[in-house]
C-alpha cells in the first residue's frame, strides 16, 4: 500500500520526528532518545516517513543518518496555499466589516 504525505504527517510522533530532523540529520538511536516509546516503534515511523519520501537515509560509515526532504514538504505547503488564500480573504472581509461597524457607531 502506497502512503501519501498527509498520512505521514497525521501522526504526532511523525510530526515530532520531522521537526527533530529539520534541525539536523540524526541516527535512529538519537531520534528514539526523544520519545518514550520502543526503538521498534520509532523505526516503524521512520519507515513510513521514508515511504512517503519526507525523509531519506544517508549512510555514513556504519551509521545511518536521516535527513529531511525539504522539496517534499513543499507539496504540503502548496496544498495549504489554496486554503491560506481563502482564510486571508475571509479575514480581510471581517476586518472591513468591523471597520464599517466602528464607523457607524461614531
Would you kindly state where each structural domain of the chain is located, as residue ranges?
Answer: 1-68, 71-106
Cα torsion angle, 96, 100, 105, 106, sign: positive
89 burial (CB, 10 Å; 0-12 / 13-18 / 19+) is: exposed
Per-residue pLDDT tens digits for 8-53: 999 999 999 999 999 999 999 999 999 999 999 999 999 999 999 9
Cα 68 to chain centroid distance, Å, stands at: 10
Q: Which fold has domain 1-68?
A: Arc Repressor Mutant, subunit A (1.10.10)
Q: pLDDT > 70: what percent of the chain? A: 98
> Which pLDDT score is estimated for 64?
96
Q: pLDDT > 90: what percent of the chain? A: 79
Amino acid at each position: 500500500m502506497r502512503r501519501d504525505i498527509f498520512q505521514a504527517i497525521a501522526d504526532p510522533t511523525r510530526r515530532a520526528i520531522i521537526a527533530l530532523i529539520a534541525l539536523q540529520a540524526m541516527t535512529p538511536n538519537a531520534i528514539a532518545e526523544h520519545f518514550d516509546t520502543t526503538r521498534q516503534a520509532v523505526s516503524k515511523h521512520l519507515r513510513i516517513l521514508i515511504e512517503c519520501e519526507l525523509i531519506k537515509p544517508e549512510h555514513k560509515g556504519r551509521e545511518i543518518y536521516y535527513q529531511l526532504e525539504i522539496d517534499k514538504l513543499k507539496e504540503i505547503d502548496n496544498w495549504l496555499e489554496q486554503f491560506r488564500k481563502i482564510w486571508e480573504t475571509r479575514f480581510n472581509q471581517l476586518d472591513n466589516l468591523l471597520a464599517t461597524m466602528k464607523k457607524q457607531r461614531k
